Structure 1
């Protein structure tokens, strides 16, 4: 067994502030060694994401107890039987949907919809179905999205990682595991933004700002950023938004339609709110596409005029993990970062230690941060 430490969630729905209720406890843990097609990774940096918060607050239920965290980068320390694509010393970025490479979705080039990967994530296991975590009493803990990055070490499937340049700063590399892959991917993969197309992005968190960067890199114009927080709107403008709108105003949709000449050709919702998604839909032009990236509570419902889908040739699309092919998209997005086309380092607002994790979730819930990264 391998000794380590990690942030364990044992109960969802704790009261805020989390710094007081401490839903995540830093505990001594043990890991079974990696099995076939698995590897042991020393985590170097892990981002704090709304998808983690949605588990903490109970809006995205998962089996417990669970070692949380899914956006991260680290260094391979050991590999299991049959592993040839990775070796000790490799730096990797994690993917929070493992892809089996054999199911119908993987075969048609849509690995983010991998059926065995989704089943493993829902069950709290690795792709193999195994659980490698044990707490101090020897009881099993669940894996979060096959990654469990809020730990000093973790065991993952080789299908949950992609090798990257070891010279890349770990706090930047980590962002490519979720925020960049999800946001940029939503703009360029799902929405297919083309030069000169008008784009509006609702929500200027890490994913929303990454979507904005993707739209700007693709040559969109105008690019409208919508958020209730002034500092985030200012950052959006600095990153290339041509217009910013306070989400708290009464005439958000009307302003977007005025700026874009009748509606945005591509509207992206990254908040995880059915009400914001409704705004995004009504702010979309005839013949345009509305893309939803956020994860609302499963019981929330959306109501739109059904006839508009046909009469206005509208498209309403979901984008999970940026519709990414991780082995293709992480390297190409990294190339754009190195070329100065995706300044994702501007998204990093806080560096912290694992012991600060509950306060980090308070900051995230209060919209006081864009991307916080835990450094190990």
Structure 2
């Protein structure tokens, strides 16, 4: 049996309990988890903003060590350190063949089927197919990416979502160029990952907007040159910092009608707006036909940073090793499995960037 943080019903606190994992199937691997980042998507699953079959073990920014493999697994072996990939591509569907693995038709298959049981036999689901808020998990071999043996798993766990999504939004979706101006709305884990990537790309200025004044003390370490409090004057301040035009690029790292409109208004004519945050299905964003024509802006959705984890994780690890990317700085607090609800509260209140759950008994 394995200890896990279980969501029994949306909106309820997580419960620490024991689950029973099966033996790995032919193409599955069992991972002993060491660290897991607490992402806003986990909060959205927990509070019902995103649909999630229950009971479920949430968590998708996971890092650990392979402890068992199925008979047909050839991607990793026992003892390998790995990151979890919550949207593994099949490599065969139309999107995968077009070089868009982040849109794979089968990327979320694992989330729809039970992967474990409670001790009374009740089926348990894995949040986003990974179930990282637990001592161990079972995933398809496509859902793990091997990392070097000397990797500090507590540092790289956040790479599995926050960094792949935020950096990918800059490098792939928006294609930010040297000297371009960037504004970031929402300075959580993804937002500061956007900031670090924008710094690497040579953007200037890099403007951060957040409702929490505490974030002004956090952002300097990530490349943000100017902090602007969220509010009615934020757009005016962005224009003052960008020659009166507005930013070349705006990243909405919150998601929703208010923040997407704010990103749109903070962008210059001909600029690019990238929506990275996940909003609710009932949050409607409106534009007039005239403004769509007149401003000539581009509006992009951004799934998983348009990243390919097999390709991008090694590149990001190189950037971290060279000091250009600072993964440890993303981790603003740590806890054990009992602290996930506190991490959710910190997220709602705008405290810190990323809480990393360190799971007892894992090997760093």
TM-score range relative to shorter protein: over 0.9
Give the Cα separation in 1 of the matches to 2:302 and 2:264. 15
| Partner residue, 1:315 | 298
- Superposed, 1:1-376 pairs within 5 Å as 3-14=1-12, 23-121=13-111, 123=112, 125=113, 131-248=114-231, 250-261=232-243, 262-376=245-359
Contact 2:256 2:284 in 1 (8 A): no
Structure 2 residue matching 1:112: 3-state secondary structure: helix
Aligned to 1:134, what secondary structure does the other structure show? Answer: strand
Distance 1:51 1:158 in 2: 23
State the alpha-carbon separation in 2 of the partners of residues 264 and 363 from structure 1: 29
The CA distance in 1 between the partners of 2:175 and 2:262, in whole Å, is 21
Shift of 1:345: 1.1
How far residue 306 of structure 1 moved from its aligned partner, in angstroms, is 2.8
Shift of 1:366: 1.8
What is the distance in 1 between the residues matched to 2:253 and 2:55? Answer: 28
CA-to-aligned-CA distance 1:123-152 (integer Å, 9 cap, x gap): 2x3xxxxx3301010121111112100010
Measured in 2, the distance between the counterparts of 1:373 and 1:110 equals 29
Question: 1:39, 1:115 → 2: CA distance?
Answer: 22
Q: How far apart are residue 257 of structure 1 and its match? A: 1.7
Query: 1:148 & 1:326 partners in 2: Cα distance?
Result: 18
CA 1:367–1:158: 2 relative to 1, 3 Å:
same
Q: Secondary structure at the match of 2:214?
A: helix
Give 3-state SS (helix, strand or coil) of 1:290's partner: strand
CA distance, structure 2, for counterparts of residue 88 and residue 50 of structure 1: 31
How far apart in 1 are the matches of 2:216 and 2:289?
32
Distance 2:22 2:119 in 1: 13
1:164-194 CA-to-partner distances (Å, cap 9, x unmatched) read 1121211111011011111111111111101
How many residues in Structure 1 have an aligned counterpart in Structure 2? 358
CA distance in 2 between counterparts of 1:81 and 1:146 reads: 21
Which residue does 2:362 correspond to in 1?
none
Distance 1:270 1:35 in 2: 37
Deviation at 1:310, TM superposition (A): 3.1
Tell me the TM-score normalised to structure 1 length: 0.92
**How many Å separate the matches in 2 of 1:32 and 1:145?**
18
Whether the 8 Å CA contact 1:148–1:154 is kept in 2: the answer is yes
Tell me how far apart the structure 2 counterparts of residues 282 and 359 of structure 1 sit (CA, whole Å): 34
Contact 2:57–2:133 (CA<8 Å) still a contact in 1? yes
Q: How far, CA to CA, are the matches of 2:225 and 2:37 in structure 1?
A: 28
C-alpha deviation, 1:196, in angstroms: 0.8
- Provide the rounded CA distance (Å) in 1 between the counterparts of 2:349 and 2:239: 29
Residue segments in structure 1 that go unaligned for 5+ positions in a row? 15-22, 126-130
Q: Compute the RMSD of aligned alpha carbons.
A: 1.3
Q: 1:298, CA displacement in angstroms?
A: 1.0
